[in-house]
Structure 1
Amino acid sequence: MSRERWMAGLFALGSLCFVVGPFPGYAQLVGAQADAITFFVGSIFFTGGGALQSGIAFATRRGSHTGRAAWRAAAVQSAGTVFFNVTTYLALHTSLSNADYDRVVWRPDAFGSICFLVSGLIAYRASARHGWRPAHGSPGWWEPAVNLLGCVLFGVAAVAGYVVPASGSPLDLAAANVNTALGAACFLTCAVATLRTGRTLKSPRLRRLRALRHLRGARVARDGG
């Protein structure tokens, strides 16, 4: 299996944990401690996927503009996953010491969310666009936009989490939980697409291969004509 598919698999598992974890029904079913473990395990998968993504992009950090952008986006996102490791661990520790900790087990923290948002913006800016709209046509053209949407939703969840008091209203709690789940669903969508096709715009190596194939095809068509 290619490194891209391993990366996608780790991101898919991590995203799935963050999709399931915020649902109140899940927390009520398994309890606050198991819910906190779900978030923590998901953050570890995220970190593994981010580390592999950084490794794939490392060789291109001094190459083309696209390669440099891929490296910066991967490095910043990896830093964000480490912040999530810390906050999910703290949430797990709190749930183990406080039996009443069952309102919002975890929500994206500020530093991790900022890293994700910056990473998503770098990747989207480097992608093919018509103005601010993504350019259709190439495989995975929609991935940077969906990934950026997920980053924005994690940021909204972080803001909602900071304004939710310990006795927050159900509407406040829903804002933190729903946006966390929706953001993770965006990441899951991108990861599943990469698992299915083995291609992703996160990999500069695959971008170069596609560009070479396109150039070769254009030359063959020209010479044949």
Structure 2
Amino acid sequence: MSGGGGAGERNRLLISDASFAGGSVCFAFAALPSIADALGPVVTNVVFVVGSVFFTLGAGLALGVPNRSSSIIQFVGTLFFNLSTSIALAAAIPASAGGGTGWRPDAYGSICFLVSSLIAVAAVARQRGSRRDGVGAVLNLLGSVLFGFAAVGAFELPGTDTLLSPFWTGVGTVGGAVCFLAAAVLGLLPAPAAQRAATASK
């Protein structure tokens, strides 16, 4: 996430983007099957919990920017991820000896992220934001869509332990996290000279 505002706001957004980058790395890393198998279910879910905390920190720092409604909904979505990753970790601890899988995006958090991203894309277009802001908003939207696919894929078929689509569960989680990471890194890059000049003149 990036935007205008004074130096204080810019520094706050830089920390927010760094937090989202850290959370995205955690989610993408822990969602890789080979990594999850090597770490085991408990450590894998610890990584997811840490990633969700980074997401919440980043969303909290970004509250009100660039759109109040979008940032609040995003923050609520991270709280759902805090809850679902914690539940997954609590379930993994007694079952660790039997193996298992790590957390996957839950429906509530994924819906919040998707709605937040749609509002953000519309806000950037309406406010004629910079090209970088537009690309970042689209990357976040794509990541939210992929998390949504993962949430649908993680739905357990009635009466079984079988996921609806293990493929989309994994690809959606890793792909979504990579998109969020790309958007966060984009926000960490120095602003173009023209944008810095416009900000300084405000």
Question: Match for 2:57: what amino acid?
Answer: G
Q: How many residues were matched structurally? A: 187
1:62 is matched with none
Residue 81 of structure 2 is matched in structure 1 by 84
Cα displacement (A) at 1:30: 1.0
**Cα separation, 2, equivalents of 1:210 and 1:196:** 12
Distance 1:5 1:107 in 2: 27
Deviation at 1:97, TM superposition (A): 1.1
Measured in 2, the distance between the counterparts of 1:188 and 1:25 equals 20
Task: Identify if the C-alpha distance between structure 1 residues 82 and 137 changes in structure 2 by more than 3 Å, giving closer, same or farther.
Answer: closer
Q: 1:13 aligns with which of 12, 22, 27?
A: 22
The answer to whether the 8 Å contact 1:124/1:145 transfers is yes
8 Å contact from structure 1 (residues 2, 198) kept in 2? no
8 Å contact 2:154–2:163 — kept in the other structure? no
* Amino acid aligned to 1:160: G
Q: Percent identity?
A: 37
The CA deviation at 1:140 is 3.3
Residue 153 of structure 1: aligned partner? 146
| Aligned-pair CA distance for 1:150 | 0.6
User: One-letter code of the match for 2:161?
Assistant: A
**Structure-1 residue corresponding to 2:4:** none
Question: Which residue is 2:46 aligned to?
Answer: 37
2-structure distance, mates of 1:34, 1:89? 12
Q: Structure 2: where are the runs of 5+ without partners?
A: 1-9
Matches within 5 A, 1:135-150: 138-150=131-143
Query: Partner residue of 1:189?
Result: 182
The C-alpha deviation readout for 1:148-195, integer Å capped at 9, x for no partner, is: 1111111111011114652448xx222201101100111000111112
Q: Within 2, Cα distance between the matches of 1:148 and 1:111? A: 16
Normalised to the residue count of structure 2, the TM-score between the two structures is 0.83
CA contact (8 A) 2:40 2:99 kept: no
The residue type paired with residue 196 of structure 1 is L
Check the 8 A contact 1:83/1:111 in 2, yes or no: yes
Report the TM-score when normalising by structure 1: 0.75
Q: Deviations over 1:116-162 (max 9, x none)?
A: 01001100111227xxxxx8973333111111111111111101111
Q: 1:189 is matched by which residue type in structure 2?
A: A
SS of equivalent residue, structure 1 residue 141? helix
What is the 5 A alignment of 1:1-150? Answer: 2-54=11-63, 57=65, 70-99=67-96, 100-102=98-100, 104-128=101-125, 138-150=131-143
